[in-house]
Amino acid sequence: MGISGKIKIFLSQDILKELAGVLVGRKFRTPVAFVQQTIHELSEIAEIAIAREKINAVKNDPDDNRILECAVAAKVDYIVSGDSDLLSLGNFRKIKILSPGDFILGI
């Protein structure tokens, strides 16, 4: 449930699939068993949001739209990300998009 129950973490199945693919891919080459365990643990601590709308707001990296879809479905207040394409939006439908550092400074 996040830090002291004050922060809720939301993920979607699409985000988890992408994460698994990136971790086992050429860049990180993480062992599959470790990735499976990590995905399982993330699924245990996060709430899984079901995206009901396709969003096409991030043109440079369309995969980033999955983050927006999850955030909209979960009705969150913040997206915390280090991704420059998401951060360049600043906000999306009243959802503030902050770097981890800016988010921590603000809570």
Predicted local distance difference test score (pLDDT) of residue 6: 79
Predicted local distance difference test score (pLDDT) of residue 1: 44
Residue 71 has pLDDT above 90, yes or no: yes
pLDDT tens sequence across 38-59: 999 999 999 999 999 999 999 9
- Mean residue pLDDT across the chain: 93
Q: pLDDT category, 106, cuts 50, 70, 90?
A: confident
- The candidate with the shortest Cα–Cα distance to 76, out of 101, 49, 38, 103, is 49
Cβ partners under 8 Å of residue 32, min gap 6: 24
User: 10 Å Cβ neighbour count for 66?
Assistant: 20
